[in-house]
Structure 1
Amino acid sequence: MSAARFIARMSLESAIGADLSGVRIRLLEEIDRRGSISQAAKAVPMSYKAAWDAIDTLNNLSAEPLVLRLVGGTNGGGSQLTAYGQSMVAMYRALEGEYQATLDRVASQLGAVGTGDVQGFQQLMRRLRINSSARNQFLGVISALTLGPVEAEVRINIGQHSEIVTVLTLASVESLGLAVGVEVLALVKASAVMLTVEQGLKLSARNQLWGEISVIHPGPVNNEVTLLLPAGRTITAVVTRASCETLGFAPGMAACAFFKASSVILASQV
């Protein structure tokens, strides 16, 4: 029996699981080549909506934005990779080559391993990979941790002048190993995010992030409205089409995304 062959499908993962996969790398390369997210999505191929979601996720979880969206021009604007984005793509491709070479060397030594063992290993690797359904994922650092008798208030810095607040039980703080300076992933479902365009409105929600509407993805009943936040981060809310029309939502408008502290879920390296 010939030696098992493993094909490199590499992803770069943080300690809490956010990844930069081959499909996303191809998307970044096509954006760099074509200057357009829509054209890059067709070339990958992937849906236009999936491409937008991928760029939002990458920009939110990266230390610096990987893609800049340009406004204006004869074609209504475009997109381009930042210098940081180009360096991430180059590093990925260099590591991928080394990764494949390593897998080839390992595969050449698997003559003593049965086919069932190889398949079991592959199944284990698939099961260990768990993705979150939360639309909004923010990589940040805990800037403040206030302990109470039962619960703790956690503040997470996600970029320039942007902060997320959540409240956790003391048991959760301990089990997640939370402390000031610890890197965490903050998850917020799009359905938990509400929007307003009214300045000075008093809200009870602890989290209030001002930005600019960057894109509206229409649906038959609900629209997905994405705000561009400082430092290139984005946040998406699900809003009914009727509400979007009533409030006059449109790209370029200033808006505030607000959500309760209880709507934020944290993940960290244990």
Structure 2
Amino acid sequence: MTLRALVASPTPPAQAAEEELRANYDWVPIEEAEIVVALGGDGFLLQTLHTMLEARRILPVFGMNLGTVGFLMNEWRLEGLEDRLARAKPFRVSPLKMVAVTIHGEHLELPAINEVSLLRETRQTAKLEISVNDRIVLPELVCDGMLVATPAGSTAYNLSVQGPILPLGSGMLAVTPISPFRPRRWSGAILPDKARIGIRILEADKRPVSAVGDQREVREVERVDVTIDPSRDLTLLFDPEHALDDRITLEQFVA
């Protein structure tokens, strides 16, 4: 039998489900586990994955939805867990690596599974210079912000700002502006995931910008570099009939 650990969001539904699962199945501490079962919503799943990245002990995760959207989760069911885990379809997800330099000279490195987003901090628009592989491709983007999304994150914040949906395994990243003012007709780009994306904040003192890796924010950045980090691949597990690649594909046909 595969050794499995159980983690749950602090919300009442997730806590109640955890109690039921602990009464019906055998579990081990996460330090001894081969698989993690996570109960909650998409946000809790991302939090679980980030915890593993920080601990540098990365295990496959099977999430069950007890949150709101649950796009990255499987359906919650008490029955048949052992069979579901045995039949689960694995998907490898490479996180982004965000390296941010603040106007005060601080250097911070953060992983991001869904996206890296840059957002204006005040009422004034942001002015950003975008480079790809050290070549300036957009000298000035005047906007509320922008983001770089992975295929797994392309149906999240990226989709809500009219960014493209990227199939899993496409080897691509979405670069999407948020409320662009100039150039007005620039709607973003799709780049190979081997690309090195650099964003320099123009007038960083006057027009402060924050950078967010999933849920972690760095304020008053001066420059942000974004690359894929294939050395820290994550594995998500899904029921075969509700696999993540099918969900992402079908999301393109949702009215």
TM-score by structure 1 length? 0.25
Q: Comparing both structures, which one devotes a greater share of its residues to strand?
A: 2
Task: Tell which structure's C-alpha radius of gyration is larger.
Answer: 1
Instruction: Give the TM-score of the pair, scaled to structure 2.
Output: 0.26
